A and B are shown apart, each in its own frame.
Chain A
Amino acid sequence: EIVMTQSPATLSVSPGERATLSCRASQSVSSDLAWYQQKPGQAPRLLIYAASTRATGIPARFSGSGSGTEFTLTISSLQSEDFAVYYCQQYNNWPPWTFGQGTKVEIK
């Protein structure tokens, strides 16, 4: 089973600033990597798939990069609605899909 590790656990950012979230896989997942955003009481919302492709309706301030074992989600200018928990997921070698433990983006 592939282990996904996210860092940092919590990121404190001021509105308008840039946020950079990291996700590392225990072995190569090629570009089979997705990012989700989750707010309290809601299901995860797909932001990015194939490591760098924005899902339908996702603003351009969200971007993903990386391949193999190292991935990054960047939010270029944080808006109030972006404060949430973010998860990465690999779907290269499944079952099972495996998820990172999450990064909480909070207001500084």
Chain B
Amino acid sequence: EVQLVESGGGLVQPGGSLRLSCSASGFTFSRYTMHWVRQAPGRGLEYVSLISSNGGSTYYADSVKGRFTISRDNSKNTLYLQMSSLRVEDMAVYYCVKDPAGIMATLGNWGQGTLVTVSS
């Protein structure tokens, strides 16, 4: 069974930094592209970033480009999102998502999310 467990969320002041982690199990982590999707309180889903299976390719939404860095450690089955220069508008639940890799029945592999609160 695929399990994705996010951690690292919390309260941070505007301009601060935070690193989120996503621990993966139940599949061969090193073979899959991974994604981050976020959801601000009471709002919809917003795509944030992706990283290819070997870490060689990344993508960032314009809203986080230059401030967030996605990375992974395949030896630890862990995905990361380093967030810096945080803004109030970055406040959200951040979800780690496994790419379906063409098997669309597995689109539903999301973690439970970790809440990032940006406030002074």
Residues of A within 8 A of B (CB): 34, 36, 42-46, 49-50, 53, 55-56, 87, 89, 91, 95-102
> Across the interface, which residues of B come within 8 angstroms of A46, CB to CB?
107-108
CB distance from B77 to the nearest CB of A (A): 19
Q: Does the CB pair B110–A44 fall under 8 Å?
A: yes
Residues of B within 8 A of A (CB): 35, 37, 44-47, 50, 59, 61, 95, 100, 104-105, 107-108, 110-113
> Across the interface, which residues of A come within 8 angstroms of B59, CB to CB?
95-96
> Across the interface, which residues of A come within 8 angstroms of B50, CB to CB?
95
Which residue of the partner chain, among A91, A96, A98, A100, contacts B107 with CB atoms under 8 Å?
A91
> Across the interface, which residues of B come within 8 angstroms of A56, CB to CB?
105
> Across the interface, which residues of A come within 8 angstroms of B61, CB to CB?
96
Q: Does the CB pair A99–B110 fall under 8 Å?
A: no
Q: CA A36 – CA B37 in complex, angstroms? A: 14
> Across the interface, which residues of B come within 8 angstroms of A50, CB to CB?
104
Q: Which residue of B lies closest to A57 (CB)?
A: B108
28 pairs, CB–CB < 8 Å, chain A vs chain B: A43-B95, A43-B111, A43-B112, A44-B45, A45-B108, A46-B107, A49-B104, A49-B107, A50-B104, A53-B104, A53-B105, A55-B105, A55-B108, A56-B105, A89-B45, A89-B107, A91-B104, A91-B107, A95-B59, A96-B59, A96-B61, A97-B35, A97-B37, A97-B47, A98-B47, A99-B46, A100-B44, A101-B44
Q: Does the CB pair B45–A99 fall under 8 Å?
A: yes
